[in-house]
Structure 1
C-alpha cells in the first residue's frame, strides 16, 4: 500500500470526552488500544506534514452530553487539534452532511481518507459510507475505532466486539478498505523514505 502525502488526509471522527464518561459510567467497549492507535496515527500524519481533519459532534438536543456547553463535547487529550488543523462540527451522524468537509477535501485535491474515531457503528460508519459513495478512497482503521455493547431491537445484548466486526464486514470492499494502524504506519514510513 502506498499513500500519496499530498492527497491523503486523516479524518478523526468524534474523539470526544463523552465516551470516556460513558465508560466511567459502566458502559463496556471493545478495542482498549484504540485511542492509543488514534494518537499514533495523528502523530505520524503531523510528522509527515499531511492533512488532518477533526470532526466533532455537536448535538442540538437539550440535555445531550454532546451539547457544546457540556464537558463531554471537548476532544480527548490524545486527539486535540493543533494549529491549522480544521475542526468540522456536525449535527448528524455523517461528517459530510451540513458541513464543508467535502469542499475542503476537494479544494486540497485529497482523494484518500484514513478514517478513525468513535463509535464504529454510528458516526464512523456513516462517515465512511458517505466517503465511499462520494468517490473517496476510504481506509477505515479497524483498531483505531471502537464501540459499546448495545441492546438490540429484539432485546438481546450484542457485544461491542460483534457490533464492531459486523460493521467492518459491512463496509469492507463496498465502501472502504479495512486497514490496521500497523499497516498504515508502515505505509507512511515507506512514503516518507521514498
Structure 2
C-alpha cells in the first residue's frame, strides 16, 4: 500500500481548483496528478489519502482504485471483482454497500451489475475466510465499494472517506437552501480568495 492510485471526485468544473489543492496538501510534484472528468487522479500513499480526507475542501470523497479492466457483460464484472484482494482492506465482519455509476454503459441494468459485483466480493470472502461473508447494509455500511463503468471499461474503488467529505463537522443548523461545504469552498477558490485574505478586509 506504499503507492496507491487515488481518485478524488468533485463537482463538475471544480477539477482545475482541486488539482492544486491536492498538490498543496500532499507536497507532491505536478507530474503525480491527472485531471479527469469529474475529479482528480493522484498516485500516492495511504497516509497521504488520510491527509486528503482531513484537509481537502473541494473533494467529495477519496477513493482507492483497486481494479481497472475491460468488460462486455455482467460476468466480466463478477470476474474483475473476484480478482480483487478485498481481504487486504476489510474483514467479513464489516458490512458493505456497492454503488455504481456509468457513462454510456451497454448494460441493461446497473442494479444487476452492482449485484454481480456484490456477489463476487461475498464469494471471494467465502473462499478465503472459511465460508464467512460480509453482510450488506445499504444505509450505514462499514465499507463502500464504488464501480464506474464506461462503454467498455470497469473501475473498482474502495472508499476511504465513509460519509461524504462535506459532512465533516456537519452543521448544527441550516437555512432553507443550504449549500454543500465543498461547493462553497469551490466558489471561494474560483474567486481567487486565499486563506489569510480575511486579514485584509475592512
TM-score, normalization: structure 1? 0.27
Q: Which has the higher contact order (CA 8 A, sep 6+)?
A: 1
